Amino acid sequence: MSQVSLPPSLHPDLPLTALAPMQDVTNHWFMKVIAHYGSSDYFFTEYFRVNDTSRLNRNILAAITENNTGRPIFAQMIGESIPDLVRTAKELCNYNIAGVDLNMGCPAPRIYRKNVGGGLLLFPDKVDRILGELRQAVNDRPLTVKMRVGFENTETFYDILDLINRHSIDLLSLHGRTVKDMYHGPVKYDLIASAVKRVHCPVLANGNIHSATMAKEVLSQTGAAGVMVGRWAVGNPWIFNQIRQAWRGETITPVPLVEVRNYIDRLWQTPTAATMPVRSRVGYLKMFLNYIALNVDAEGDFLRLMRQTQTEIELLNLCDRIFLADLTKTLALAPSLSV
């Protein structure tokens, strides 16, 4: 077992929560937004790409050096070159990070085809060497792993779980789908439950945790130490507070749509907005609205109309019509998954 310990929970009496790292989404600015509405216990950076010519990405590094969320942040790496992963891990340990996280779950084909991210799950022997070297390099703070239950099937799943134990990994974030599943199909929560029983470290259950009620169900089903929420925190940044309410047995507080409109304004005020071309700004906001829409109307009218807008004025006027028309309306406590 590792001698280092995880940073304390925001609420020690409750299971852990974490915002899942999402490339080009969960940057420093978005972490600040999430923290405004009710922070998770932990944050993870977007991944630092690691290869023989890589240097620490300054934009991603800002999430560490300018972290004013009040919550610990783990630095995530993606790569397969052992000397360069070790070099990068040591560089990252010079900063105020909670620990170093290895990405073994990214399902993007352009990533896994390079045998990194989720592609590493095809090579347990390589994973063994990587984790062994990283454990030696990262010996004064947590070393964590984010992974999926397999690449195309679960053939290597238990072998890699045993490697998690062998190298005293301090926290495992486990998405209950394979790499090839991407974000489709049922999540194999039974395999997350198996991992909880097999590994020595805490496990965060990840995958389609779309509401506070779902988080409570997944925790009960898996016995995990907590949950990691990604896309659904984009659509509902209040979800971590709602999860804590559910775990305490409290009534979940619904969010008025007018507050959602304020959230959209906050997203719109990203520091890079002024330098982005108009089309890019519209696309940036639509990326978030794709998730928000699923909690707004089950019929999908807002989603359809939003995707048809082409200018800032059209998009923001539509948001006004939808979110400010009836001040009694609230964001759904769970998304409509049928639209």
> Whole-angstrom Cα distance, residue 42 to residue 18?
5
Task: Count other C-beta atoms under 10 Å from residue 284's C-beta.
Answer: 18
Other beta carbons within 10 angstroms of residue 329's beta carbon come to 17
Annotate 280-332 with DSSP letters as a single string: HHHHHHHHHHHHHGGGT-TT-HHHHHHHH--SHHHHHHHHHHHHHS-TT-B--
Residue 275, both tokens: 């330098």
C-beta atoms surrounding 193 within 10 Å = 18
**Phi, psi dihedral angles at 22 (to 5 degrees):** -130, 120
One-letter amino acid identity for 334? A
> For 296, how many CA atoms within 13 A lie in the half-sphere containing its CB?
27
For the annotated catalytic residues, the residue numbers are 106
DSSP H or E run through 204: strand 203-206
Structure tokens at 252: 């979940």
Q: Which of 123, 27, 114 is nearest to 67 (CA)?
A: 27
What is the phi/psi pair of residue 70, to 5°? Answer: 80, 5
